[in-house]
A and B are shown apart, each in its own frame.
Chain A
Amino acid sequence: MKAYNIIVLAKQVPDTRNVGKDAMKADGTINRAVLAAIFNPEDLNALEQALRIKDEFPESKINILTMGPGRAADIIREGLYRGADGGILLTDRAFAGSDTLATSYAIGQALKKMGNIDIIIAGRQAIDGDTAQVGPQVAEKLNLLQITYVEEIIELKDKSITVKRRLENGVETVKCPLPLVITVNGSAPDCRARNAKRLMKYKHAKTVTELQKENEDYTHLYNDRPDLNIQEWTVNDIETEASQLGLTGSPTKVKSIENVVLQAKDSKVISSSDSDIEEMMVELLQSHTIG
């Protein structure tokens, strides 16, 4: 095979890595207004793996699929800047409040419509929920094989892929036939930077909704250059059962949210004397902190 059809699943998330004092609201939910919306970091690792496949097989196509509000079109643009060929923003009020089950259902249905996919690559998990469920669930919905915790694609040959998985106690090499779903670890290489020419071109890429909202000076562009139109799919564009969507389709119910502050207990001063050190060793061994 000389070319692969690749879909990268990506999510726009609040940047929880740079949390300030006002990151949480009084009720314990995330205050999205003060946190920048970013490309989920491990999804960028996933995109890099896709781009490396395209480096090797330049005829390959990479499309980004993201589900979220209108502003998540940024995720598609970020993908385009780095080398993706296109993307679809799945956006509709009907998807609001989805847990991982409803999300993977909607994404699965969108992937079915896209069809003919060789490899689906997603980040291991998103930093806002940390569930690591959507990738594997999508594989199950589509009845595809899956490899999680991937750190490196060692070989891609015809209809088979060999990858290195990063596990808690070591690494594992797995070979698997295509098509399949891969989820990528944060320990995989960082995504390459945005490319200057692609940035200058695709900064104009917009969804229909964005075009309608903005007072665009460049309307003619979008007729002349179809690749600047970002596809936007609503619930009407994919085949779905209403009962499996959004809040209705989400069995996960949040009972309450607590604000947990991690605090160190009283500190203990240990001198450099032999007896103190010995005492500390014994204590650490007894508490199974070491050994």
Chain B
Amino acid sequence: MANYYNDNSELKFHLSHPLMQEIVRLKERNFSFKEEFDFAPLDHEDAIDSYDRVLEVVGEICGNIVAENAESIDAEGPEVIDGHVKYARGTEENIKALRQAGLMGMSLPYKYDGLNFPIVPYIMAADIVSRADAGFVNIWGLQDCAETINEFASEEQKQKYLPRVCAGDTMAMDLTEPDAGSDLQAVQLKATWSEEKQTWLLNGVKRFITNGDGEISLVLARSEPGTKDGRGLSMFIYDKLDGGVTVRRIEHKMGIIGSPTCELVFKDAPGELVGSRKMGLIKYVMALMNGARLGIAAQSVGLCEAAYRESIIYAKERMQFGKAIIKFPAVYEMLTNMKAKLDASRTLLYETARFVDMYKTYMHIAEERKLEKEERDEMKKYQRLADIYTPLVKGMASEYSNQLAYDAVQIHGGSGFMKDYPVERIYRDARITSIYEGTTQLQVVAAIRGVTTGAYLNQIRVYEAKQVSPQLEYLKRTLIILTEDYEQAVKQVTATNDNEFIDFHARRLVEMAGHIIMSYLLLLDTNRDEMFMKSTKNYIKFAKAEIKAHAEYIRTSELSDLGDFKMEL
């Protein structure tokens, strides 16, 4: 009877963050929902208790059902029958269990049958589901497409679709096409208004669509004929009940095999316009992607957890040279660094989730009433933070999930290369996290603004200003010195005023900021709970070495060096 929430006290810890008080109060509108909805929390303690209990159910289902099914789903995979997806048997079972438990539409408002959970406990559920099966979290986690409907669709559309999501309908976001991957401006799927049918009709092909045969899909399509860029694109809802979309094939993938990646053919498929025309890519996809990126960060952290736990179990059991391999420095160093990276990416994940919660909740409140000036300022502050933290956590956590999966296989030795242990699957599943929803390289493109505008530095100063207990002061001093290195490197690179040179060093600079931020977050966590002490000390050691290396590389780099790197076509 495994419970993936109860056995992971690091998760519960993040529910107790001081900012949760404010998040819950805003989300529950000062606990005014309780009059109308008999399960709405009565006060802060009651809300946290409810999150805790519901996450316990998530942990139970994941430990006993989702994790148990992971291996057979990976072997079986989904298939296409008559133009539609048939999930693997285990996938069906997982969906049924989570649906019965009411764990779909967790973050949607009460009035659409949701649980009105903040993003923090929702992301925690994603973290848990991913640890159990990182392929399955894709299908379950696409419920956050509903957030985009909730933000931008009409009241009528919300009433039509959101209760269905809460009842368990799965979703998809149909963006990518054969010639439009990272560059979504090139999307060609046509949307034409039909006077006769009084609806938009969608025609064309989409590719690499996760859960493409889901019940409700958000489709990016060209509604303005003759246009070539993002300004001619609009967002549509496609309802599978209407018909018109068939699955041509499912991709054969390296990992996350249970999650069907579909090629879709749209033939006069009816679509309902979401929000305004031409805002599809510019506004709605950006919102959609930010939500999805946070989801991938959660998927990555869940994978880190799984990789770490499998490695610990194996390293304790595996005897070589007369002792368990966990006793050897080469192995325990790997394990300790894995744990430090796991804790670091998780603390960054929940910090980001809190920022998202703060601004999104204010945004929804603003639809109900005019915000006070301080509230508007708060909203803007958290929106800016969420905007620079989302690519940072997506980039860092997905890279760490790959590193941890690599180390996990390494610790298992030859056995890890065989299909006999879960690490082999974890290794394959992790690989996609640093690619989809924007590659790490593209996360850096988004995150570099946080470096050049000084936004990361400002937030680092906020952390720096927080009091820590005297025995942690020495760690803080290390971070202050590392921050100077970071500032120096940023200054040197930006002083050139050369965009290509900035792009060349962007990843190094973003990583430096990321290491400092994660180190501070761990330090502040340790200040609240000693359980993070080891990870904090070890992560700061690791971060220091990384930052120094990057700083040195940048210090000796000149604009003219670029010529040595450039490749000819």
Question: Of A192, A199, A221, which contacts B54 at CB under 8 A?
Answer: A199
- How many Å lie between the Cα of A208 and that of B41 in the bound state? 22
CA separation between A198 and B53, bound complex, in Å?
A: 11
Q: Is A203 an interface residue (CB 8 A)?
A: yes
A200→B102 CA distance, assembly (Å): 11
Q: Tell me the complex Cα distance, A218–B41, Å.
A: 11
Query: Per-position contact with B for A195-224: 1 when CB-CB < 8 Å, else 0?
Result: 111111101000000000000011001000
Interface residue B50 (Cβ < 8 Å from any Cβ of A): yes
A151 to B43 CA separation, bound complex (whole angstroms): 43
Residues facing A in B84-130 (CB within 8 A) are 97, 100-103, 106, 115
- Is the Cβ of B97 less than 8 Å from the Cβ of A196? no
CB proximity to A under 8 Å, residues B24-67 = 38-43, 49-50, 53-54, 57, 60-61
Using an 8 Å CB-CB cutoff, how does the interface string of B414-426 with A read, 1 for contact, 0 for none?
A: 0000000000000
- Asked whether A194 is an interface residue with its Cβ less than 8 Å from the other chain, the reply is yes
Asked if B102 and A196 sit within 8 Å, CB to CB, the answer is yes
| Across-interface contacts of B38 in A (CB, < 8 A) | 201, 225
Residues of chain B within 8 A (CB-CB) of A195 are 100-102
In-complex Cβ contact of B100 among A193, A200, A218, A225 (8 A): A193
Q: Is the CB of B42 within 8 A of A197?
A: no
Size of B's binding interface in residues, CB under 8 A: 20
Q: What is the distance, in angstroms, from A152's C-beta to the closest C-beta of chain B?
A: 17
- Pair A192/B39 contact, Cβ less than 8 Å: no
Contact string against B for A residues 219-242, beta-carbon threshold 8 Å, 1 for contact and 0 otherwise: 001000100000000000000000
Known: A193-B61, A194-B57, A195-B102. A200 touches B97 (CB 8 A): no
Question: Per a CB cutoff under 8 Å, which of B42, B43, B54 touches A196?
Answer: B54
By the criterion CB–CB under 8 Å, are B97 and A199 in contact? no
A200 and B101 contact, CB distance less than 8 A:
no
Q: Are A203 and B57 in contact (CB under 8 A)?
A: no
The answer to whether B100 touches A192, judged by C-beta atoms less than 8 angstroms apart, is yes
CB distance from A80 to the nearest CB of B (A): 12
The answer to whether B61 and A203 have CB atoms under 8 Å apart is no
- With a cutoff of 8 Å between Cβ atoms, the chain A residues found around residue B49 in the complex are 203
CB distance from A38 to the nearest CB of B (A): 10
Q: Which residues of B lie under 8 Å from residue A221 when comparing CB positions?
A: 42
Chain A: interface residue total (CB-CB under 8 A):
15
Please report the C-alpha to C-alpha distance between residue A197 and residue B37 in the assembled complex, in whole angstroms.
Answer: 10
Q: Which of A154-173 contact B (CB under 8 A)?
A: none
Checking A196, A201, A225 against B57 with a beta-carbon cut-off of 8 angstroms, the contacting residue is A196
- B54-A200 in contact (CB<8A): yes
> How far apart sit A195 and B38, CA to CA, in the bound complex (Å)?
14
In the complex, which residue of chain B has the Cβ closest to the Cβ of A227? B38
**CB distance B41 to A199 under 8 Å?**
no
Residues of chain B within 8 A of A218, CB atoms compared: 42
Is there an interface contact between A200 and B60, defined as CB atoms closer than 8 Å?
A: no
Closest A residue to B100 using CB positions: A192
CB distance from B4 to the nearest CB of A (A): 13
- Of all chain A residues, the one with the shortest Cβ separation from B97 is A193
Give complex CA distance A198, B41 in Å.
12
> Do B115 and A196 touch across chains, with their CB atoms under 8 A apart?
yes
Chain A residues positioned under 8 Å from B40 (CB to CB): 200
> What's the Cα separation between A203 and B102 when bound, in Å?
16
| Minimum Cβ distance to chain B for residue A19 (Å) | 14
CA distance A274 to B49 in the complex (A): 65
Considering the complex, give the chain A residue whose CB is closest to the CB of B49.
A203
Across the interface, name the chain A residue whose C-beta is closest to B50. Answer: A200
Q: Tell me which residues across on chain A come within 8 A of B61, comparing CB atoms.
A: 193
Distance in angstroms from B125 CB to nearest chain A CB is: 10
A203 with B100: CB separation less than 8 A: no
Q: A203-B49, A203-B53 are in contact. Are A197 and B100 (CB under 8 A)?
A: no
Residues on B with C-beta less than 8 A from A199 are: 50, 53-54, 57
Closest residue of chain B to A221, judged by CB? Answer: B42
- Closest chain B residue to A201 by CB distance? B39
The answer to whether B57 and A200 touch across the interface, beta carbons within 8 angstroms, is: no
Contact assessment for B101 and A194 in the assembled complex, using a CB-CB cutoff below 8 Å = yes
Give the distance in Å from the alpha carbon of A221 to the alpha carbon of B40 in the complex: 12
A residues 174-202 in Cβ contact with B at 8 Å: 192-201
In the assembled complex, the CB of A228 is this many whole angstroms from the nearest CB of chain B, namely 9
Enumerate chain B residues within 8 angstroms of A225, measured Cβ to Cβ: 38
**Candidate in B38, B54, B60, B106 with the most chain A CB atoms within 10 angstroms:** B38
Q: Which residue of B lies closest to A51 (CB)?
A: B100
For the complex, what is the distance from the CA of A199 to the CA of B56, rounded to whole Å?
11
Which of A196, A201, A218, A225 has the most CB atoms of chain B within a 10 A radius of its CB? A196
A225 to B38, CA, bound (A): 8
Closest Cβ–Cβ distance, residue B29 to chain A (whole Å): 17
**Chain A residues closer than 8 Å to B42, beta-carbon distance:** 218, 221
A203 touches B50 (CB 8 A): yes
* Closest beta carbon of chain A to B94's beta carbon, Å: 12
Cα–Cα distance between A194 and B100 once the two chains are bound (Å): 8
A199 CB → nearest B CB, Å: 5
Closest A residue by C-beta to B117: A196
The chain B residue with its CB closest to the CB of A199 is B53
B50 cross-chain contacts in A, Cβ below 8 A: 199-200, 203
B101, A193: Cβ atoms closer than 8 Å: yes
**Residues in A whose Cβ lies below 8 Å from that of B53:** 194, 199-200, 203
Q: How far is the CB of B58 from chain A (nearest CB, A)?
A: 9
Which chain B residue shows the least CB distance to A200? B39
In chain B between 287 and 303, which residues have their CB closer than 8 angstroms to a CB of chain A? none
In the bound complex, do residue B41 and residue A196 qualify as a contact, i.e. CB atoms below 8 Å apart? no
Which chain B residues lie closer than 8 Å to A217 at the CB level?
Answer: 43
Residues in A neighbouring B43, C-beta threshold 8 A: 217
Query: Which of B53, B61, B97, B101 has most A Cβ within 10 Å?
Result: B101
State A200–B60 Cα separation when bound (angstroms). Answer: 16
Known A-B contacts A201-B39, A218-B42; the reply to A192 vs B115 at CB < 8 A is no
Which residue on A lies nearest to B47, using beta carbons? Answer: A200
Query: Which residue of chain A is the closest to B113 with respect to CB atoms?
Result: A197
Q: Please determine whether A192 and B97 come into contact, CB atoms closer than 8 angstroms.
A: yes
A 59-88 contacts with B by CB, 8 A: none
Contact of B41 among A192, A193, A200 (CB under 8 A): A200
Chain B nearest CB from A101 CB (Å) reads 33
Residue numbers in B under 8 Å from A203 (CB-CB): 49-50, 53
Digitize B172-214: 1 where CB-to-A-CB distance is under 8 Å, 0 elsewhere: 0000000000000000000000000000000000000000000
Measured between C-beta atoms, what is the minimum distance from B455 to chain A in Å? 37
- CB-defined contacts of A197 to chain B, threshold 8 Å: 39, 102, 115
Closest CB-CB distance, A178 to chain B, in whole Å?
26
Q: Which residues of A contact B103 (CB under 8 A)?
A: 196
Known: A199-B50, A203-B49, A203-B50. A193 touches B57 (CB 8 A): yes
Interface string of A224-264 (1 = CB under 8 A from B): 01000000000000000000000000000000000000000
Which chain A residue has the least Cβ–Cβ distance from B51? A200
- Complex Cα gap A196–B105 (Å): 11
Interchain CA distance A197-B61 in the complex, whole Å = 16
User: Which A residues lie at the B interface, using CB under 8 A?
Assistant: 192-201, 203, 217-218, 221, 225
Given contacts A193-B61, A197-B102, 15 further A-B contacts (CB under 8 A): A192-B100, A193-B60, A193-B97, A194-B53, A194-B57, A195-B101, A196-B102, A196-B103, A197-B115, A199-B54, A200-B50, A200-B115, A201-B38, A203-B53, A218-B42
- A-B contacts, 13 of them at CB < 8 A, read A193-B57, A193-B61, A193-B100, A194-B57, A196-B54, A196-B57, A196-B102, A196-B115, A197-B102, A199-B57, A200-B115, A201-B39, A203-B49
Residues of B within 8 A of A (CB): 38-43, 49-50, 53-54, 57, 60-61, 97, 100-103, 106, 115
A-B pairs with lowest CB-CB distance, top 3: A201-B39, A200-B39, A196-B102
